[in-house]
Amino acid sequence: MEAYEKLFLWFSIALLALLLVALAYTSFAMHVHVPGDAGMIMVKPGQTLAGAVLTTPPFDHPGLRQLGPGRYEAVMFGQAWSFYPREIDVPAGSEVTFRATSVDVTHGFFIPGTRVNMMLIPGLISVTSYRFDKPGTYLLLCHEYCGLLHHTMNAQVVVK
């Protein structure tokens, strides 16, 4: 019996070491990181979260703005069951910084085929960046169940 226990112990240690190596590889070599908390929307007494988001810069003017040559910022928010704005157009080779939040419930913010994957938590601002090198239309999906019409919640990034 003792031999099986030793085998199980060594197998567990090896598996733990393998998982730590995989975590280190994805974090450093592939640059996969948890999006950082970039702030919070403050709600004043008598104000709804949606009202606070829509009056707090930069969410009072959602959309795409150019920061410099080849650098853009997309300010977006999720609200059942849509993203605003519904479409952003960027030139190929551009780096886009997504700054997003939710005005009602937790939403997902996921662009398949990229590393853009955030949680939009009501009132918290999430930020991530991605360089769009290949032209095409990239679908932006909500991957957190947010209600009855969750399956209709999408937007798109058009890269020309």
d(CA 65, CA 37): 21
Q: What is d(CA 8, CA 160) in angstroms, rounded to the nearest whole number? A: 54
Q: What confidence score (pLDDT) does residue 156 get?
A: 95
Asked if 50 and 79 count as a contact pair (C-beta separation under 8 A), the reply is yes
Could you identify the residue written with the tokens 């112990």? 9
State the pLDDT at residue 25: 86
pLDDT of residue 26: 79
pLDDT, residue 67, reads: 93
pLDDT tens column, 88-126: 999 999 999 999 999 999 999 999 999 899 999 998 999
Residue listed under structure tokens 């948890």: 34
Domain ranges of the chain: 1-32, 35-159
- The DSSP element (H or E) to which 139 belongs, if any, is strand 136-141
From CA 50, how far away is CA 27, in angstroms rounded? Answer: 34
What pLDDT sits at residue 154? 93
Q: How many CB atoms lie within 10 A of CB 154?
A: 14
Name the β-bridge partners of 101: 77
- CATH number for 35-159: choose from 3.30.1490.270, 1.10.357.10, 3.40.50.1100, 2.60.40.420: 2.60.40.420
pLDDT of residue 74: 96
pTM of the entire structure?
0.75
Amino acid identity of residue 126, one-letter, is S
Which residues in the chain come in under a pLDDT of 70?
A: 1, 31-37
Strand 71-79 versus strand 94-102 pairing type:
parallel
Task: Give whole-number Cα distances, 17 to 3, 4, 24, 52, in Å.
Answer: 21, 20, 11, 46
